[in-house]
Chain A
Amino acid sequence: MIRMEQVSKRLGGRVVLDGVELKIEPGETFFIVGTSGAGKSVMLKHMIRLLTPDSGRVWIGEDCISEARGRRLEQIRARFGVLFQSGALLAWLSAGDNVGLPLRQRTNDSDADIDRLAAAKLALVGLADAFDKLPAELSGGMRKRVGLARAIITQPEIVLYDEPTSGLDPVTARTIDALIDSLRQSLGITSVVVTHDLHSALAIGTRIAMLDGGQIVAVGTPAEFVRSTNAKVQQFLEAQFITKHGNWEKAVAT
């Protein structure tokens, strides 16, 4: 579904991505973890062509998004939904209008149909009563859920999540996890999640990749990831009180 071939990127003279190779299969919930500044968000932005690689290519199915332009780029991007870290909601539109925005701007569907669909998506993320509220009237977690409703209203094949649980309390964070997982199970959506939150990754991820020094140093299923012998991975796990000898499944479940 998503393939990165030898992707390298320098920003401000610093190598952020250094020959990254990655393949994400359809229907996966793929987590990218790493320390701050490791290049996780940069990697995500390459997948949607908000950044262009200095060298290498990014493929979405059979389409090379890193070289697409104009109409072709729009067609490829239409396969994506993106949940930004802040939600990226338009401040002057209500939650319902934010969710319906892509349909209202790009289709000829009636306002009533769009409102009905937006309300359904808001209900799906547990915000049925927030339709008329402005983003300023919503909490951080609610804004992210509205952003998620907007990301999926166009029925994308792939949803990218940039730090979906950062800044949220553990209960709300687990709610977001459950939503991401339910999207995979009910709609078969391929998800790529950038996060620091290993509890989320281990709970709902099908595979986890660790980015360090511009390269992927470990990739595998949650079980393989926890048992990785890579020092950076172990350091990252221990920092979140998860050890390969410990009962991490229980820790995650709680």
Chain B
Amino acid sequence: MYAPGVNYFGSRTIITREPEYFAPPVNTYARLGRAVLLLLRNTGRALRMLGEAVANVHYMLSRQNRADLRQQMFVGGIKSLGVITVVALFTGMILALQTGLELRRFGQEVNIGTAVTVVLLREMGPFMTGLIIAASVGSAIAAQMGTMVISEEIAALEIMSINPVRFLVMPRLVALTLMMPFLTIYTDAVGIFGGAIVGSTQLNVSFTAYFDNCTRFAENKDLYVGLFKAMVFGVIIVTVACHQGFGAAEGAVGVGRATRRTVIISFLIILMMGYFITRLFYK
């Protein structure tokens, strides 16, 4: 029996909005004021959408959502491994080379394992993974949502009483929040291995010495904080991407704009949030 009002899990967040028109600002102050107000309003809308997605998380294994969740985990996780491998490998190699060359001046190049591991676990692992996923998966999500808005698919969902936040946002949120820590562990591992290659081939640090050094000074806390950061970055990417995509207007140009904004805004928030989380755990 199709009776949405009886089995209500409707959206508190209206996705299909009426078109907005603004008169040109009369002066610079008006332009600035409007920009601030729009920033606050859009932030509020994005957080409200995130809150509703979180409130729907318990549906993630329901018949309606599990297929999409599986698909999003595949897209956000497995399909990103190629680019992550290359970026992580060279990040580890660069880190090892730069620190190794400096440490060699003091005869301490054997310690590159520690430097590479701690930097990757604490900062570079989650940060690089966040940037790669924001640029690849985040932009793709924004483009998909934007196209769905333009082609009236979101409106069609809402009219069919299918909550777009539960149907589209929640599976992506869960998938990326779960996959980001695994991707970060993978980034860390590949990066550390890249450092070992450089250590072995250019700095005369054997694999044994390198890996012995890796585990000696790195703490569990470094890993856990890094993984926590990765989860937060996953939430940021999906929230920004879906919010920007849902706000797309004016056809293909609007979709392009939403995609570009997603990458820029995600980068900025990841960078700032990375600092604050570090500050929170390392005083």
Cβ-neighbour of B162 out of A73, A86, A101 (below 8 A):
A101
Cβ-neighbour of B151 out of A13, A72, A75, A86 (below 8 A):
A86
Residues in B153-194 with C-beta less than 8 Å from chain A? 153, 155-156, 158-162, 167
Task: Decide yes or no whether B19 CB sits under 8 A from chain A.
Answer: yes
Nearest CB on B from A155, distance (A): 7
User: A45: nearest residue on chain B (CB-CB)?
Assistant: B155
User: B161: nearest residue on chain A (CB-CB)?
Assistant: A74
CA distance A106 to B62 in the complex (A): 12
Q: Assuming the A-B contacts A75-B5, A106-B2, are A84 and B162 also in contact, with contact meaning beta carbons closer than 8 angstroms in the complex?
A: no
Q: Assuming the A-B contacts A75-B5, A106-B162, are A82 and B156 also in contact, with contact meaning beta carbons closer than 8 angstroms in the complex?
A: yes
CA distance A12 to B161 in the complex (A): 28
CA distance A13 to B18 in the complex (A): 14
Q: Assuming the A-B contacts A12-B19, A71-B10, A85-B152, are A103 and B5 also in contact, with contact meaning beta carbons closer than 8 angstroms in the complex?
A: no
Residues in A23-55 with C-beta less than 8 Å from chain B? 48, 50-52
Task: Decide yes or no whether A119 CB sits under 8 A from chain B.
Answer: no
Contacts of B1 in A (CB 8 A): 107
Task: Decide yes or no whether A251 CB sits under 8 A from chain B.
Answer: no
CA distance A85 to B12 in the complex (A): 27
Nearest CB on A from B7, distance (A): 7
Contact A74–B10 (Cβ < 8 Å): yes
Task: Decide yes or no whether B8 CB sits under 8 A from chain A.
Answer: yes
Contacts of A12 in B (CB 8 A): 19, 21
Contacts of B159 in A (CB 8 A): 48, 50, 77, 80, 82
Task: Decide yes or no whether B64 CB sits under 8 A from chain A.
Answer: yes
Q: Assuming the A-B contacts A85-B152, A89-B153, are A51 and B160 also in contact, with contact meaning beta carbons closer than 8 angstroms in the complex?
A: no
User: A78: nearest residue on chain B (CB-CB)?
Assistant: B4
CA distance A219 to B148 in the complex (A): 35
Contacts of A111 in B (CB 8 A): 63
Contacts of A78 in B (CB 8 A): 2-5, 161
Contact A77–B161 (Cβ < 8 Å): yes
Contact A70–B10 (Cβ < 8 Å): yes
Task: Decide yes or no whether B206 CB sits under 8 A from chain A.
Answer: no
CA distance A72 to B152 in the complex (A): 22
Residues in B18-57 with C-beta less than 8 Å from chain A? 18-19, 21
User: A110: nearest residue on chain B (CB-CB)?
Assistant: B63
Report the interface size for chain A: residues with CB under 8 A from the other chain.
33
Report the interface size for chain B: residues with CB under 8 A from the other chain.
27
Contact B63–A104 (Cβ < 8 Å): yes
Contacts of A104 in B (CB 8 A): 63-64
User: B65: nearest residue on chain A (CB-CB)?
Assistant: A105
Contacts of A231 in B (CB 8 A): none
User: B163: nearest residue on chain A (CB-CB)?
Assistant: A105
Contacts of B162 in A (CB 8 A): 101-102, 105-106
Task: Decide yes or no whether A90 CB sits under 8 A from chain B.
Answer: yes
Contacts of B2 in A (CB 8 A): 78, 102-103, 106-107, 154-155
Task: Decide yes or no whether B16 CB sits under 8 A from chain A.
Answer: yes
Cβ-neighbour of B156 out of A11, A51, A52, A88 (below 8 A):
A88
Contacts of B16 in A (CB 8 A): 50
CA distance A243 to B52 in the complex (A): 56
Q: Assuming the A-B contacts A48-B159, A101-B162, are A88 and B5 also in contact, with contact meaning beta carbons closer than 8 angstroms in the complex?
A: no
CA distance A106 to B65 in the complex (A): 12
CA distance A50 to B21 in the complex (A): 17
Contacts of B10 in A (CB 8 A): 70-71, 73-74
Cβ-neighbour of B8 out of A48, A71, A103, A105 (below 8 A):
A71
Nearest CB on B from A159, distance (A): 11
Contact B64–A105 (Cβ < 8 Å): yes
Contacts of B64 in A (CB 8 A): 104-105
CA distance A103 to B1 in the complex (A): 8
CA distance A51 to B158 in the complex (A): 13
List 30 contacting pairs A-B, 8 Å CB cutoff, sorted by A. A11-B18, A11-B19, A13-B21, A50-B16, A70-B10, A74-B4, A74-B8, A75-B4, A77-B4, A77-B161, A78-B2, A78-B3, A78-B4, A80-B159, A82-B156, A84-B152, A84-B155, A84-B156, A85-B152, A86-B151, A88-B153, A88-B155, A90-B148, A90-B153, A101-B162, A104-B64, A105-B64, A106-B2, A106-B7, A154-B160
Interface pairs A-B: 9 shortest CB-CB: A75-B5, A88-B156, A12-B21, A102-B160, A154-B2, A74-B4, A88-B152, A74-B161, A84-B152
Interface residues of A (CB under 8 A from B): 11-13, 48, 50-52, 70-75, 77-78, 80, 82, 84-86, 88-90, 101-107, 111, 154-155
